[in-house]
Amino acid sequence: MSRFKNYQVGAKFKLSKLDTGDTAFAIGSDASQRDELDALALKLDALQNLLHAEGRRKVLLVLQGMDTSGKDGTVRWVFSRTSPLGVRVAAFKAPSEEERAHDFLWRCHAVVPRAGELAVWNRSHYEDVLVPVVEGWIDKAETRRRYAQINDFERLLTETGTVIVKCMLHIGKEEQRKRLQARIDTPDKQWKFSMGDLTVRDKWDDYQRAYQKALAETSTREAPWTIVPADSKINRNLMIAQLLVRTLEAMKLVPATDPKLAGLVVR
């Protein structure tokens, strides 16, 4: 049985039932966990090289979660040994005026992975079925349309060679409080904090309900959701690194070869 089975969003999924403090993937001493993460990062580098050398398929990692859940930290540690030429990160912030003038998926098409590339989305198109829902900017009918459009969009990507890995970084309210306070209390981390973080925190339960619905409606066979307990940073990083390694290994990547190089000797 896959270690990830209990964390995948299915028909009976309840976000509130999943323990944000779960550390099932952080086994052993702190030193052994760091060694394991480093080994996984090296393996990811080798697998990404194969992905690039094959030059045909693509991988998209979607990282979604509440403030302080660790999207930046995941990128920093999981890809710590990966060539910067092989991984491209796109951060989704509040839509610009230009982006608001188009459909909500317009800005996504521009940053999908190219052939042979692994792309990471720090937040994503799912912001458009979370924030507008909680703030009441779209009604239930529009929300349902957006769920369907997201599923169609992701099916388009998978049918054209993209493997999608979607991770919801699930942090608890108390752990978020501690991390927000640490940002406030640490001068060189204050840039990460904004008063808007507290406004969103005040609507914690509304966002949990919006996540519950969005995850349930958009976890498909082509692009399933995995819930990543994120109170423990090392557990979060190890789980996502293992999931990516498993995904890339399952692709059975084979580098493309150039017949013109057969027998070529460099003198």
Question: Which is the CATH superfamily of the domain at 5-253?
Answer: P-loop containing nucleotide triphosphate hydrolases (3.40.50.300)
| pLDDT tens string 111-154 | 999 999 999 999 999 999 999 999 999 999 999 999 999 999 99
Q: What is the mean pLDDT of residues 248-261?
A: 92
Q: Amino acid identity, residue 60?
A: L
Q: What angle do CA 23, 72, 85 make, to 5 degrees?
A: 115
Residue 1 — very low, low, confident or very high, per pLDDT cuts 50/70/90? very low
For 55-117, give the DSSP string: -S-EEEEEEEESTTS-HHHHHHHHTTTS-TTTEEEEE--SPPHHHHTS-TTHHHHTTSPPTT-
Domain coordinates of the chain in residue numbers? 5-253
Alpha helices (H) along 113-264: 131-135, 140-159, 173-185, 195-201, 204-218, 233-250
